[in-house]
Structure 1
Amino acid sequence: MASSVICTTCNQLIRRGIDLCRLYRHAALAVSEPGLRAVLDEDAQALAAMVVELQHEVTLAGGVPRMHGSWRAALRCRLVDGMARTAARRDSAWIHALAQDESGLLRAFERAIAGLPEDSAKVLRRQLPRLRGIHLDMHSLAGPAHS
């Protein structure tokens, strides 16, 4: 039962991680500031590494890891891209969208950790520093973006 719960939980987080990674990669191509592109690319790589680690954990628990995100990710990319193209400050629009989605992923991890038994939650807890690093990146960028 415990491995089934961890597989289901991890697969939900994997899907969200893949979706967010896809948005980061799209944003890295769409923004105009080269330094911002580098930060977004780094964060996309960190998310991809997190996804790979979670997929490995699902496999170790005897499950089949998710390998793809949701159809909503493609829709979200198009939506944010459209909003950014019409915004006066395109890069700021991307930062705002990424910060919002990244906060959602971090909250999903925290809720999952709170709902799992301690031994199962260790798998997710190991990912928190990486997610918090991305969180700090986005929110430090979002501060100046809104000024």
Structure 2
Amino acid sequence: MTIKRMDNVGIVVESLDAVIPFFIALGLRLEGRANIDGEWAGRVTGLGTQRVEIAMLITPDGHSRLELSQFFAPAVVADHREAPVNALGYLRVMFTVIDLDDTLVRLREHGAQLVGDVVQYQNSYRLCYIRGPEGLLIGLAEELM
């Protein structure tokens, strides 16, 4: 085996301040924010000199992280936020929640909109997709067992 663990999923956003409260309302905890800049960072990403602020959020179980990035330089070159669920590439993050209905009520207060319907898959899950702030696609699943 070569993989030890998955550290985080990264999402580029226009405004950390607009998106962080949504993920906190979902149940993630803000671990911290940091400015990342300079030549060393650009060597990792292939972007050259860059200036970005990141926010790291962690799930309640402490096993998964979400890294939000707001780029100041270079400018953002593509926008996939309104892509349909069958678009190529990374598309969404799925979270398992305790109470799907309660979660939807809380997230609607932060601008979340249901994409389709809440559906039940066999006797295993209730599932839905929502669009969060900045059009981010988020999957929510409630285990029924």
TM-score scaled by length of structure 2: 0.30
TM-score scaled by length of structure 1: 0.29
> Hey, which of these two has a bigger chunk of strand by percent?
2
Higher RCO (CA 8 Å, separation ≥ 6 residues): 1
> Hey, which of these two has a bigger chunk of helix by percent?
1
